[in-house]
Amino acid sequence: MKPQDQSSADPASKEHLRLWLRLLKINRLVEAELRERLRLSFGTTLPRFDVMSALYRNPKGMKMSELSRLLMVSNGNVTGIVDRLTEDGFMLREAVPGDRRAARVRLTRNGIAEFERQAAAHEEWVSELLGGLSPEDTRRMADDLGTALTLDRKDADDA
């Protein structure tokens, strides 16, 4: 497994670039649609949904740094989003016994209920938006991406 040589006429790099442009495009299409629907249906945003989703899967709460690493966004970014979600009563910061630097964040009862409504709609929307892909294509592509991701390192979780 050696690095590929880099000729500007390398056909493999052209194919990779073609794939990358399509990944980018479908991502933008789906994200734009999800953002619009989250806004209209729930008055929320994708980053807020992502944070609530992470906390929903971790009912005991997560430290800010854990959230930041899982979502692959900066620490300061998480601070702001959690601030606003806390103001809205969907989550709260708790002290971590034995470490006065850290903060543990978890969903409130209200936040759990709200996220469950959002998640149900979200799953339907995603399936609708990717509906052009057959079940076989869907599964195969997810598997292919899985191998690409493991080779790329840095994959933390994954079912």
Partner DNA sequence: GTCTGAAATTTTAAGCTTGAAATAAAAATG
Partner DNA sequence: CATTTTTATTTCAAGCTTAAAATTTCAGAC
Task: Classify 105 as helix, strand or coil.
Answer: strand
Binds a second copy (CB under 8 A): choice among 39, 96, 110, 149: 149
Site string for DNA, 38-57 (x = CB under 7 A): -x-----xxxx---------
Report 5-44 residues binding a second copy (CB under 8 A). Answer: 6, 8, 10, 12-20, 22-30, 32
The alpha helices in the chain, defined as continuous H runs, are 11-42, 46-56, 64-71, 75-87, 109-129, 135-151
Local structure of residue 133 (DSSP, 8 states): S
| Contact status: 35 vs DNA (CB under 7 A) | yes
Instruction: Note whether 60 and 105 are within 8 A (CB).
Output: no
d(C-alpha 149, C-alpha 84), whole Å: 32
Site string for a second copy, 55-74 (x = CB under 8 A): -xx-x------------x--
Nearest alpha carbon to residue 56 among 103, 113, 130, 133 = 113
Q: Smallest distance from the beta carbon of 87 to a second copy, in angstroms?
A: 23
| Contact status: 95 vs a second copy (CB under 8 A) | no
| Contact status: 110 vs DNA (CB under 7 A) | no
Other residues' Cβ atoms within 10 Å of the Cβ of residue 79? 13
Beta bridge partners of 94: 104
Q: Report how far apart, in Å, the C-alpha atoms of 76 and of each of 47, 67, 87, 103, 148 are.
A: 13, 11, 17, 14, 29
Q: Smallest distance from the beta carbon of 98 to a second copy, in angstroms?
A: 26
| Contact status: 78 vs DNA (CB under 7 A) | yes
Which residues lie near a second copy (CB under 8 A)?
1, 3-4, 6, 8, 10, 12-20, 22-30, 32, 56-57, 59, 72, 112, 116, 119-120, 123-124, 126-133, 135, 137-142, 144-155, 159
